[in-house]
Amino acid sequence: MSEKAYLGVDVGSVSTNLVLLDERGDVVEKLYLRTRGEPIAVIQEGMRALAPVAIGMEMAGVGTTGSGRRLAGVILGADCVKNEITAHAVASARVVPDVRTVIEIGGQDSKIIILRDGAVLDFAMNTVCAAGTGSFLDQQAARLGVPIEKFGELALMSATPVRIAGRCAVFAESDMIHKQQMGHRMEDIVAGLCEALVRNYLNNVGKGKDIQPPVVFQGGVAANAGMRAAFEKALGTPVAVPEHYNVMGAIGAALLAAEEIERRGGPSRFRGFQALDMDYSASSFECKGCPNLCEVVNIRMGHEVIARWGSRCGRWDSF
């Protein structure tokens, strides 16, 4: 009898993450791919890479999350399509069952999730200011001539971090350059930047939130040891970084798919790996049925429209 596997796919603006879990919920394989503005092609690329790993396994459930979750759900034949807050919360609770605060910082955005007794009590997202996100840290590491992989390591070497204005990305960058011109040591600048970005996060995303331990830090930026240390300093409590910190959304989607299959029973709606060889395309049109003028998205498989969404009234929605 084939071992059951559950697939989770998290499609974001910067990265597309795919995770294959076994029946026990352990990670069999994970992929972290750049979306590159081509989510359909990257989903297909990731699935082709997973296909050899899944040989001999029964795909028992598929879940999708992220900004491109509906698109991924249509292409793959998902059993559940959930928002990022739910997916990240479920994955965190699996790693740290009594987690009360989840800090998630990705390539383009950041979020905070407050849990009590395993349930989401409150959350907030920040998609306006780029300060503290992965793309901003990449830019500053390049400006300083420091490989992003060494950024956190360098920050931990600092004994006297400099004070850098972190109210917004523009101010943080200009102040960092000013401190560099004043002759401050590189490790003190890097550590100061990490602390500034943590202040920015806590004053914006975390403003008014009841942040309590245990705290879990996930998302691509969690790889930065300097950011983790800065959060621990600011919060006065240890901050846990899961082993699979950069694909937690996909893990949560897979776990939710397993729950959905158990709840409703029956086989998965997964289209199968062979369906990935089909020609998928996305297009849109403006509905003129009312003054809302909604932009309706079409997803085609070959010449057939397999899904539509985007209308406020639901007139065109078929997924």
Take residue 300 and report the two structure tokens written for it.
């085609």
What's CA 276's distance to the chain center, in Å? Answer: 23
Its pTM stands at: 0.86
pLDDT tens, position by position, 250-266: 999 999 999 999 998 87
Q: Greater confidence, 213 or 312? A: 213
Give CA–CA dist 254/124, Å, rounded. 23
CATH topology of domain 3-89+249-276: Nucleotidyltransferase; domain 5 (3.30.420)
Please answer whether residues 291 and 298 qualify as being in contact, where contact means their C-beta atoms are separated by less than 8 angstroms. Answer: no
In sequence order, what are the beta bridge partners of 285? 296
Contacts of 5 (CB under 8 A, 6+ apart): 20, 21, 22, 23, 28, 54, 57, 58, 59, 60
Q: What is the mean pLDDT of residues 284-295?
A: 88
pLDDT tens, position by position, 131-162: 557 777 777 777 777 777 777 787 888 878 88
The CATH number given to 97-241 is 3.30.420.40
Query: Which pairing describes strands 215-218 and 295-301: parallel, antiparallel, or unpaired?
Result: unpaired
The residues of the chain that CATH labels 3.30.420.40 are: 3-89+249-276, 97-241
Average pLDDT, the chain: 87
- C-alpha to C-alpha distances, 68 to 38, 71, 305, nearest whole angstrom: 11, 5, 18
Q: Is the pLDDT of residue 211 over 90?
A: yes
